[in-house]
Amino acid sequence: MIIALLWIVAIGLGLTLVYVAGRLCYDTWSAVKQRRYDKSVGQLAPPWRDTKVLAIVAQLAFAVVVGLAFWYLWGNFRDRTDAIGLDLSFDFLDQPAGITIADNPLTAADTVGEAITAGFLNTIRIIIVGIPLAVLLGTLVGIARLSNNWLLRKLATGYVEFFRNIPPLVVIVFIWSGVYLTAFPRSSESWRPLNWFVFNNAKFAFPSIEGLDGFVTFRWIVLAAVIAALAVGYWRTQVFVKTGAAHHRVLWGLGTLLTIGTVAYFALDGPVKFSRPTLDEAGRIYEGGIRMQMPYAAMVTALVLYTATHISEIVRGSIQAVDKGQVEASEALALSGFQRYRFVILPQAMRIAFPPLINQFLNFSKNSSLALLIGFGEITSIINNLAGQSQPAPQLIFILMLLYLVISLVLSLLGNLINRKLQIVGR
């Protein structure tokens, strides 16, 4: 996978170079043609007064200077790497990595490529869980800051002004060592609310679903049921659009899902059961449930708390940017406060808020690299560890930057696609 990425980047850069060189050649050719024509009509300007010639000369000079700088740096680089005998190939990806990651089945014998992939997946886990939470919290706080309830407004303002002005790294370290490590008990004295959850300062555990016989079939049936529910919801929307009858699409959809699920559950004779985390004598969780490492929990909490402040400022600004007439019209229609936000203000505010929100998503994904300091095994700390295991640093850093560029690119592509859906088509 990593090698394929490298090839894509190489091809992309090559195409860009070809494009630029092609443009330059075309410009030169058209300038020459123009000057021939000018000469034939006897209006040839001296070359130092011809903007076309000047532009070509300036670009050539720029390219030569940049190329020389790169050539000089590359020479230095080769001298240094030759002196320490560094291998610049990507063969090391198949060598054993010699590192382990907490809460990951990876062993020291697994290859560097597998370690990097595991780290990349951990980064994705932070991003996928964190961004929706941050948007949710940020929207709520943004609305709260505009509430006419004095106490709620001040509470939200205090939260935003406090967390916005602290470096994210300090938030992370403070949440980790100040809140999670000290406020939760040691594992031998774990809190076990309802006997279903386990909280201690090493990990959290929640109940989960465990598959028994026929689980694979059941999973497919549930997937089909979800699709059926969506279809039913779409059908109800169509009915609503055509006849104006109440759609109740959420009720209909959930009903479909639950009916199919229940029937399948009994037909397959109970293919799933709840599993709860169980502790041994020393307080270690030895089976059942879904577990969450403490650094991961701290990381997600801190990043959500930090990013939500920025999102709330964006949401607040966009709500205020919604035309005042819209709010007055919804008041004239006697919509309740909730209806006003749900049907009139938020849909329009989201349209304004989305482009800057994409920026915050990118910031969130980049800030996930800060986990390096609290030892969560995401991509940056894995790369740092690997470099400490005397794996070649140049290639590692190159791969690290490449993977982040891929994340940024995918996020902004997705964001722009959604944004295009949100904007009003017209004019």
Partner 1 sequence: MSDLFLADPIVVDPEPRPHGRLSPGAWARANLFDSRVNSVITVIAGLIAGFLTWAAIAWLISIDFTIIRDTLRIFMIGQFPDDELWRLWAAGMVLMTAIGLAAGATARNAHDVAISQGLAPDPSGPLLLARRFWAILAVLILFASFARTIQPMVGVLAAIALVFLVRQLAWAAPAAIRTRAMYVTALLVVASMLVVAGTSRLGGLCIGLVVFVWALNETGRRDFSGSSGKVLRWLITVSAAVLAGVIVAMIGFEGFGWKEWGGIHVNLFTAVVGIALGMPLGILLALGRQSKLPVVRTASVLYIEFVRGVPLISLLLFSKLLLPLFLPITMERPTSLTLAIIVIMGFSAAYIAEIVRGGLQAVAKGQTEAAQALGLSPGAMQRLIILPQALRAVIPAMVGQFIALFKDTTLLTTVAVLEFLDAAAIANNQPQFLGKGLAPVTYLFVAVGFWAFAFTMSKESRRLERRLGVGTR
* Placement of tokens 């809190």 in the chain: 191
CA distance linking residue 35 with residue 22, whole number of Å: 20
Decide: 274 and 210 in contact? Cβ < 8 Å.
yes
Please report whether residue 408 would count as binding partner 1 according to CB under 8 A. Answer: yes
Please report whether residue 63 would count as binding partner 1 according to CB under 8 A. Answer: yes
Please report whether residue 352 would count as binding partner 1 according to CB under 8 A. Answer: yes
Handedness of CA 72, 74, 77, 82 (dihedral sign): negative
Query: Nearest to residue 205, comparing CAs of 215, 217, 214, 195?
Result: 195
DSSP 186: P
> Smaller CB distance to partner 1: residue 299 or 383?
383
Query: Nearest to residue 248, comparing CAs of 221, 228, 227, 229?
Result: 229
* One residue of 8, 18, 329, 405 binding partner 1 per CB under 8 A: 405
Query: Interface residues for partner 1 in 329-348 (CB under 8 A)?
Result: 337
Query: Interface residues for partner 1 in 176-215 (CB under 8 A)?
Result: 177-179, 181-182
> Smaller CB distance to partner 1: residue 106 or 396?
396
- Residues in the interface with partner 1 (CB under 8 A) total 82
In terms of Cβ atoms closer than 10 Å to its own Cβ (0-12, 13-18, 19+), residue 363 is middle
Please report whether residue 146 would count as binding partner 1 according to CB under 8 A. Answer: yes
> Smaller CB distance to partner 1: residue 11 or 212?
11
Handedness of CA 311, 313, 319, 323 (dihedral sign): negative
Query: Nearest to residue 206, comparing CAs of 103, 290, 301, 298?
Result: 290
Query: Interface residues for partner 1 in 72-91 (CB under 8 A)?
Result: 73, 76-77, 79-81, 83
First-to-last alpha carbon distance for the chain, in angstroms, is 44
Q: Which range in 126-134, 164-172, 238-246, 248-256 contacts partner 1 by CB under 8 A?
A: 164-172
Query: Interface residues for partner 1 in 291-310 (CB under 8 A)?
Result: 310
* One residue of 129, 292, 317, 419 binding partner 1 per CB under 8 A: 317
Query: Interface residues for partner 1 in 363-392 (CB under 8 A)?
Result: 363, 366-367, 369-370, 372-373, 380, 383-384, 387
Please report whether residue 164 would count as binding partner 1 according to CB under 8 A. Answer: yes
Q: How far is the CB of 55 from partner 1 (least distance, A)?
A: 6
Please report whether residue 170 would count as binding partner 1 according to CB under 8 A. Answer: yes
Q: How far is the CB of 323 from partner 1 (least distance, A)?
A: 15
Q: Which range in 190-198, 204-212, 267-275, 399-407 contacts partner 1 by CB under 8 A?
A: 399-407
Alpha helices in 88-214 (DSSP H): 112-144, 150-164, 168-173, 181-183
Map residue 243 onto helix, strand or coil.
Answer: helix
CA distance linking residue 98 with residue 120, whole number of Å: 17
Handedness of CA 254, 260, 262, 264 (dihedral sign): negative
Q: How far is the CB of 92 from partner 1 (least distance, A)?
A: 15
